[in-house]
Amino acid sequence: MTLHLLSPKDRKVKMQRHEVGYFRAEVKDVKPGDRYFFMPDGEQDYPDPASHFQPDGVHGPSEVVDHQSHEWQDTTWRGLPFKDLILYELHVGTFTPEGTFEAIIPRLDNLVDTGINAIELMPVAQCPGNRNWGYDGVYPYAVQHSYGGPNGLKKLVDACHARGIAVFLDVVYNHLGPEGNYFGKFAPYFTDKYSTPWGEAINFDDAWSDGVRDYFSDNPLHWFEHYHIDGLRLDAIHTVFDKKAINFWELTYYKVKLLEQKLGRSLYMTAESDYNSPKVMKSPEVGGFGFQAQWLDDFHHSLYVLLNEEGKKYYEDFGQIEQLAKAYTEGFVHSGEFVKFRKQRHGASSAGMSGDKFITFIQNHDQVGNHVGSLRLSTIIDYERLKLAAAAVMLSPYVPMLFMGEEYAEDTPFNYFVHHSDEELIKAVQEGRKEEFSGFNWDAAPPDPQAEETFTASKLIWEKREKGKHKIMLQWHQELIRLRRTEAALQCFDKNKIRVQTIGQTGFVLLRQCEKDQEHLLCLFNLSEAPLPYTIPATAPTWKKLLDSKLSKWQTGKSKAPCTLPNQVAANEAVEAPPLSITVYKSL
Of the residues 63, 272, 317, 479, which is catalytic? 272
In a domain, 41, yes or no: yes
In a domain, 37, yes or no: yes
Nearby residues of 392 by Cβ (< 8 Å), 6 or more positions away: 303, 362, 525, 582
If asked whether residues 462 and 521 sit together in one domain, one would say no
Q: Residue 298 has what pLDDT?
A: 98
Average pLDDT, the chain: 95
Instruction: Identify whether 579 is preceded by a cis peptide bond (ω within 30 of 0).
Output: no
Q: What is the largest CA-CA distance in the chain?
A: 85
Q: Which CATH number characterizes residue 140's domain? A: 3.20.20.80
Residue 217 · residue 252 · CB < 8 Å: yes
If asked whether residues 20 and 141 sit together in one domain, one would say no
If asked whether residues 443 and 495 sit together in one domain, one would say no
What's the CA gap between 515 and 524, in Å, rounded?
A: 21
In a domain, 77, yes or no: no
> Is 235 in the active site?
yes
Which tens digit of pLDDT belongs to each residue from 384-435?
Answer: 999 999 999 999 999 999 999 999 999 999 999 999 999 999 999 998 888 8
Q: CA angle, corner 396, sides to 487 and 302, nearest 5?
A: 160
Q: Residue 113 has what pLDDT?
A: 98
Confirm whether residue 508 is marked as ligand binding.
no
Residue 175, SS3? Answer: coil
In a domain, 494, yes or no: yes
DSSP-derived secondary structure letter, 42: S
Q: Residue 526 has what pLDDT?
A: 98
Indicate the residue among 444, 459, 478 that finishes a domain: 478
Q: Residue 515 has what pLDDT?
A: 75
Sign of CA dihedral 273, 276, 279, 281: positive
What's the CA gap between 301 and 362, in Å, rounded?
A: 8
What's the CA gap between 192 and 181, in Å, rounded?
A: 16
Instruction: Report the domain count for the chain.
Output: 3
Burial (CB < 10 A; 0-12, 13-18, 19+), residue 573, is: middle
What's the CA gap between 200 and 196, in Å, rounded?
A: 6
Residue 312, SS3? Answer: helix
If asked whether residues 90 and 145 sit together in one domain, one would say yes
Nearest residue to 103 via CA among 166, 148, 69, 37:
148
If asked whether residues 34 and 137 sit together in one domain, one would say no
In a domain, 73, yes or no: no
Q: Residue 441 has what pLDDT?
A: 57
Residue 524 · residue 507 · CB < 8 Å: yes
If asked whether residues 152 and 230 sit together in one domain, one would say yes
Confirm whether residue 66 is marked as ligand binding.
no
DSSP 483-535: HHHH-GGGG---GGGEEEEEETTTEEEEEEE-SSSS-EEEEEEE-SSS-EEEE
If asked whether residues 426 and 560 sit together in one domain, one would say no
Confirm whether residue 368 is marked as ligand binding.
yes
Confirm whether residue 233 is marked as ligand binding.
yes
> Is 272 in the active site?
yes
Confirm whether residue 299 is marked as ligand binding.
yes
pTM to 2 decimal places: 0.96
If asked whether residues 434 and 474 sit together in one domain, one would say yes
CA dihedral 138, 213, 65, 97 (to 10 degrees): 40
Q: Residue 437 has what pLDDT?
A: 73
If asked whether residues 129 and 259 sit together in one domain, one would say yes
In a domain, 418, yes or no: yes
Indicate the residue among 443, 478, 513 that finishes a domain: 478
Confirm whether residue 367 is marked as ligand binding.
yes
Domain containing residue 39? 2-63
Q: Residue 209 has what pLDDT?
A: 95
If asked whether residues 467 and 371 sit together in one domain, one would say yes
Which tens digit of pLDDT belongs to each residue from 105-118?
Answer: 999 999 999 999 99
What's the CA gap between 322 and 306, in Å, rounded?
A: 11
Q: Which CATH number characterizes residue 57's domain? A: 2.60.40.10
Alpha helices in 271-414 (DSSP H): 297-307, 321-329, 365-369, 383-394
Indicate the residue among 451, 478, 505 that finishes a domain: 478
Confirm whether residue 355 is marked as ligand binding.
no
If asked whether residues 10 and 157 sit together in one domain, one would say no
Q: Residue 374 has what pLDDT?
A: 87
Residues of the chain with pLDDT under 70: 438-444, 558-562
Q: Which CATH number characterizes residue 575's domain? A: 2.60.40.1180
Residue 465 · residue 474 · CB < 8 Å: yes
If asked whether residues 436 and 506 sit together in one domain, one would say no
Confirm whether residue 235 is marked as ligand binding.
yes
In a domain, 20, yes or no: yes
Of the residues 120, 179, 206, 235, which is catalytic? 235
